[in-house]
Amino acid sequence: MQKTLKTFFDFCSGIGSAHLAFKNLDLKCVGYSEIDEKAIKTYELFYGTEYKNYGNLMKINPENLNDFDILVAGFPCQAFSILGYRKGFDDDRGKIIHGLSRIIEIKKPKAFLLENVKGLLSINNGNTMQSILEILKNCGYQVFYKVLKSSDFGIPQKRERIYFVGIRNDLYEKDKQFEFPEKENNKLSTLKDFLVEESDEFIVSGAQYDVFLKYLNNKYNVGKYHIDDLLKLEYLVIDGRQSDLRIYRDCIPTLRTGRQGIMYIKNRKLRKISGLEALLLQGFNIELARKAQENIPKTMILSQAGNAMTVDVMEKIGKCILDYMHG
């Protein structure tokens, strides 16, 4: 049975993290599926208009799709996240897994790679997770899953996500276990490599700066921090999204859609993370990040980056799938 992987289909594509990851692995995209018009515009900005968008995957007739070797999807996480109140299958977005399984069962790709929030493990006492595993296994696949952190793969972001890999039953070797990538202890990267924005427009000043000073003196933070001391700590990351100040060194908190409160110190100035930096912190290259910065509203880039997958992690898992198939 031929196990070579050459093509992929990008479902729930967002702005194309999976596209970039698998393009880096020399696989060809044969189509994608996305319904968010703003994300579609960014996807086309990044990769051109040569790839057909098949739209809502719940309405796709799988027979109309080109064949592909691997299915990739960051299926909607809102239904399974704390922010989405963990409604799971009771939320229409949670039912996307059924749409994906229908496509998997009919198209029978050689492998699949899915991503979702870590909280999926604990919803409904783990029953939701078990249901998803059964759904995927019943499509005819050996299924593996693992929680991985972006910070373990050269991206200084405290992002933890669960990844599912499926190997079609007839291609799985019982004496050859699939292995997820191991933590890369020797890959050095610092925030300085990612927080590269030079524009003064991202410096917190004026009324915004005054609001931050008041925030430092609210009932949760009063007496804990002094602005002069903070400004001496180069590349210190500050998360001001909640009442109490959160401080990070050498990494940033998880980027999420709607999260606008991440700041950092650079050259003794308090700065907001830019869309360009957010994309770099999701593994997009500088060329694509600059293209986005020049063509997309700044708050939209931050939102889209927060909803994206980390390219480096997807690429490392993709490499493990390729090694399994080709080895």
- Distance from C-alpha of 132 to C-alpha of 278, rounded to nearest angstrom: 31
- Catalytic residue of the set 29, 77, 139, 320: 77
Mapped to the 3 state alphabet, what secondary structure does 290-306 carry? HHHHHHCCHHHHHHHHH
- Distance from C-alpha of 79 to C-alpha of 59, rounded to nearest angstrom: 20
| 77 catalytic residue (yes or no) | yes
Amino acid 23 reads K
- Give yes or no for a contact between 154 and 184, defined as CB atoms under 8 angstroms apart: yes
- Give yes or no for a contact between 39 and 45, defined as CB atoms under 8 angstroms apart: no
Distances from the Cα of 62 to the Cαs of 9, 102, 104, in angstroms? Answer: 12, 8, 9
The values of phi and psi at residue 232, to 5°, are: -85, -15
Q: What is the CA radius of gyration of the chain?
A: 21
The residues annotated with a catalytic role in the active site are 77
